[in-house]
Amino acid sequence: MSNKKNTTISRRSFLQLSAMAGVGLAAAACAPATAPSTTTTAGTTPAAAGAPTAGGILKYAETGEFNHFGPWQMGNVNTAMYNQVFGRLIWKDGEGTEHGDMAESWEMAEDGLSFTVKMYENIQWHDGQPCTAADFVTMYGYTKDEALSGESSVQKTANLMKPVIDVVAVDDYTIQFVFEKPVPYITEILDYFWAIRIDDKADPAFMTTLPVGTGPFKITEWVPNQYTKYVRNETYHHEGLPLIDEWVFNRLEKSETLLPNLEAEGVDGIFGPPLSDIARIQQDDRFWLEINSSAGSIFNIIVNTKLPPLDKKEVRQALSYSLNREAMVQSAFFGIAAPITTPFWNPTSLAYREDLVMAHPFDLDKAASLLAEAGVTDLVLDINVTSRWPQMKLFTLIWQADLAKIGVTLNVQEVENARFYEIGGAGDLLGISLHPWLNGRTSRDPAIFLGTQTNYRGDPTLNIYGWENAELEEIVAAGAVELDLETRRALYQRANEILVDELPMIQVATDPRVWVWAKKVQGPYIDLVGNLTLDQASITS
């Protein structure tokens, strides 16, 4: 009589699903650089076939309030609007294939010390001003600008652009990125380099004046707590796009209300419904789902390596073996996630190694013996969770019950969001043994991942949790400038090995992004950054 979910997804089939989704979307996405209305309908939708019709208003909803309209922020809430309002020179689709948005062509120099991009010549900002190479020089200038040194979005981009020592406008429409040492992953960096204009340095978050961009839509209105509105950019440099007239991005308070609103046809698409609702939606013929892991967000656990006995890697490995990830994926994540022991779980990553994806299958006996080997008895650990991520609450309780079976006490406490972040931001976790966390960009080039996710680094000046590993640091340094693909691959696979063996962070599961669309909506796709793109979205009547 139990209410069993009947959509159990094994890890392998899940990864296959994501890959298939990526392929399908890539097929749909491969055209945008030049082709107008003959673009294919999105291949993955089980929706009605037929050419997409132009026009219409697409209504969409997420939870969370806008607190930053700049795409460089890469924040949690606003990402859905980035690709709609802003353009990039080059971007990558879910499969990792490069496309030009604002760039017509691009080329890496022979010596690898510069990268030249030729822009389209008919691009305009939403306020009518022409967009030229000079604008990119200005943007690069923001990362060096004193006035913007306190602005987090600019600092994030500055960090990403570190290997670039100069940006030069060779002519009006040719940009050259100059390096000191080769930067083989420059296109991945450019994937984040949306074209923006910070006209008012006092408002880099564009909260008082809405931003201008070069994307397919213009942002026209923001009613706080309610919605933002976007209309078609009539001067968009890709002819025939976008297909819809207007996009309304609604903001709802509670994630439980997303699906009811969709079912009541108040909106046509939503993002981030509660995982527990997914099973019943998958049965519903009126909607189709997009379960996408391109953004590469994962759930993991920060280990306080400064706190004995967690400084012993055997103890950390024991903890990894004691996590029943398969069971957690089924119950805490309602089948929507993949269990992982490495951050490099995505087959497209250079660091990928199949045997490391699930290197520590659930084995309480092994965990117990590792603990005994390390001479640890009566271990008491604590961990905090917060309501922002109910999955954490659930999986820590499952872990608690399992650990109790081998004599380890795990105390779970729920804290408010602000306190949760405070603990995570403290190098010593404020004396707490473990802290659930999330990291992103795991699908990206490992140079980017290791460059931005400093809690995976072995350099105590970068890794606030103080873990040290000289070999990893050498790999990071070498891999960032190595032009030969296979050499890079070998280097990063070794990094993968180290991280899975030493476990400064214990991986739990992936954190896929879930969209649900009404059948009549076709054509939305997700890029490698994990963001929604609507230039080819259409509404069939």
Partner 1 sequence: MQTYVIRRLLELIPALFAASILIFLMITLAPGDPVAMRLGTEATPAQIAAERTRLGLDQSLPVRYGIWLADVVRLDLGQSLYTNRPVTTLIAEAFPKTVQLALISLALSLLIGLPMGMLAALRQDRPTDTVITGLNALGLAIPNFWLGILMILFFSVQLRWLPPSGAGNADQGMVANLRYLVMPVLSIAVSNLSVFARFTRSALIDVLADDFIRTARAKGLAERVVINRHALKNALIPVVTIVGIQFGRLLGGAVVTESVFAFPGIGRLTVTAILNRDYPVVQAILLLVVLIFLVANVVVDLLYGYLDPRVRLGRAE
Partner 2 sequence: MKLSQPVLPVTQPVSLRLRLLESQSVATTLRLLRNGKGAFGAAILLVFVIMAAVGPQLAPYDPIELHLEDQLAPPSAQYWFGADELGRDILSRILYGAGISLQAGLLAVVLAAVVGVATGVLAGYMGGWFDGLIMRIWDTLLAFPAIFLAIGIVSILGPGQLNAVLAVAVINMPTFARLVRATTLSVRNKDFVLAARATGASDRRIMFRTILPNCMAALMVQIAIAVPTAILIEATLAYLGLGSQPPEPSWGNMLQSAQGYLYQAPTYGIFPGLAITLMVIGMNYLADGLQDAIDPRRQRARAKMS
Question: Which range touches partner 2 (CB under 8 A), out of 389-397, 423-431, 438-446, 526-534?
Answer: 389-397
| Cα–Cα distance for residue pair 218/212, rounded to 1 Å | 7
Q: Is 224 near partner 1 (CB under 8 A)? A: yes
Residue of 50, 65, 162, 280 that binds partner 1 (CB under 8 A): 65
- The β-bridge partners of 93 are 527
The smaller minimum CB distance to partner 2, of residues 412 and 438, is found at 412
The one of partner 1, partner 2, none whose footprint includes residue 222, by CB under 5 to 8 A per kind, is none
Residue of 41, 52, 60, 66 that binds partner 1 (CB under 8 A): 66
| Cα–Cα distance for residue pair 183/253, rounded to 1 Å | 43
R_g of the chain, CA atoms, integer Å: 23
The one of partner 2, partner 1, none whose footprint includes residue 400, by CB under 5 to 8 A per kind, is partner 2
Half-sphere exposure for 516 (CA within 13 Å, toward CB): 27
Q: Is 394 near partner 2 (CB under 8 A)? A: yes
Element (H, E) at 222: strand 217-223
Asked whether the beta carbons of 135 and 197 are under 8 A apart, the reply is yes
| Cα–Cα distance for residue pair 299/336, rounded to 1 Å | 13
| Cα–Cα distance for residue pair 179/165, rounded to 1 Å | 5
Half-sphere exposure for 485 (CA within 13 Å, toward CB): 2
Question: Which range touches partner 2 (CB under 8 A), out of 101-109, 219-227, 303-311, 382-390?
Answer: 382-390
Q: Mask 310-349, x = binds partner 2 (CB under 8 A)?
A: -----------------x--xx------------------
- What the block records as the tokens of 239 is 């002819």
Q: Is 287 near partner 1 (CB under 8 A)? A: no
Asked whether the beta carbons of 205 and 156 are under 8 A apart, the reply is no
Question: Which range touches partner 1 (CB under 8 A), out of 133-141, 254-262, 330-338, 402-410?
Answer: 254-262
Query: What are the phi and psi torsion angles at 31 (to 5°)?
Result: -90, -20
What minimum distance in Å lies between the beta carbon of 76 and partner 1? 7
Question: Which range touches partner 2 (CB under 8 A), out of 95-103, 160-168, 184-192, 270-278?
Answer: 270-278
| Cα–Cα distance for residue pair 488/471, rounded to 1 Å | 15
Asked whether the beta carbons of 529 and 72 are under 8 A apart, the reply is no
Q: Is 134 near partner 2 (CB under 8 A)? A: no
Asked whether the beta carbons of 467 and 499 are under 8 A apart, the reply is no
Residue of 387, 405, 421, 471 that binds partner 2 (CB under 8 A): 387
Residue of 1, 49, 380, 470 that binds partner 2 (CB under 8 A): 1
- What the block records as the tokens of 77 is 């809430």
Residue 475, judged by CB atoms within 10 A of its CB (0-12, 13-18, 19+), counts as: buried
Q: Is 24 near partner 2 (CB under 8 A)? A: no
The one of partner 1, partner 2, none whose footprint includes residue 414, by CB under 5 to 8 A per kind, is partner 2
- What the block records as the tokens of 392 is 């954490």
Asked whether the beta carbons of 281 and 289 are under 8 A apart, the reply is yes
Residue 89: closest CA among 240, 235, 194? 194
What minimum distance in Å lies between the beta carbon of 250 and partner 2? 20
The smaller minimum CB distance to partner 2, of residues 30 and 397, is found at 397
- What the block records as the tokens of 44 is 């993955």
Residue of 1, 6, 150, 541 that binds partner 1 (CB under 8 A): 150
Residue of 67, 409, 413, 487 that binds partner 2 (CB under 8 A): 413
The one of partner 2, partner 1, none whose footprint includes residue 413, by CB under 5 to 8 A per kind, is partner 2
Residue 394: closest CA among 316, 299, 321? 299
What minimum distance in Å lies between the beta carbon of 391 and partner 1? 15
- The β-bridge partners of 513 are 292
Residue of 98, 104, 245, 277 that binds partner 2 (CB under 8 A): 277
Q: Is 397 near partner 2 (CB under 8 A)? A: yes
| Cα–Cα distance for residue pair 44/289, rounded to 1 Å | 10
Measure CA of the first residue to CA of the last residue in the chain; give whole Å: 41
Residue 378: closest CA among 443, 309, 457, 440? 309
Q: Mask 396-425, x = binds partner 1 (CB under 8 A)?
A: -------------------xxxxxxxx-xx
Q: Is 31 near partner 2 (CB under 8 A)? A: no
Cα-based torsion angle of the residue sequence 230, 236, 241, 246 in order, rounded to the nearest 10 degrees: 10
The one of partner 1, partner 2, none whose footprint includes residue 86, by CB under 5 to 8 A per kind, is none
What minimum distance in Å lies between the beta carbon of 195 and partner 2? 40
- What the block records as the tokens of 201 is 């340095």
Q: Is 382 near partner 2 (CB under 8 A)? A: no
Q: Is 5 near partner 2 (CB under 8 A)? A: yes
What minimum distance in Å lies between the beta carbon of 430 and partner 2? 12
Q: Mask 417-446, x = binds partner 2 (CB under 8 A)?
A: --x---------------------------
Q: Is 438 near partner 1 (CB under 8 A)? A: yes
**Using alpha carbons only, what angle is made at residue 322 by residues 316 and 326, rounded to the nearest 5 degrees?**
125
What minimum distance in Å lies between the beta carbon of 295 and partner 1? 13
Pairing of strands 57-63, 246-252: parallel
The one of partner 2, partner 1, none whose footprint includes residue 225, by CB under 5 to 8 A per kind, is partner 1
Asked whether the beta carbons of 118 and 106 are under 8 A apart, the reply is yes
Binding site for partner 2 (CB under 8 A): 1-5, 256, 259-260, 274, 276-277, 280, 327, 330-331, 385, 387, 390, 393-394, 397-398, 400-401, 412-416, 419
Binding site for partner 1 (CB under 8 A): 65-67, 74-76, 149-150, 152, 155-156, 205, 207, 223-227, 250, 252-254, 256-257, 260-261, 264, 266, 415-422, 424-425, 427, 437-440, 452-454, 464
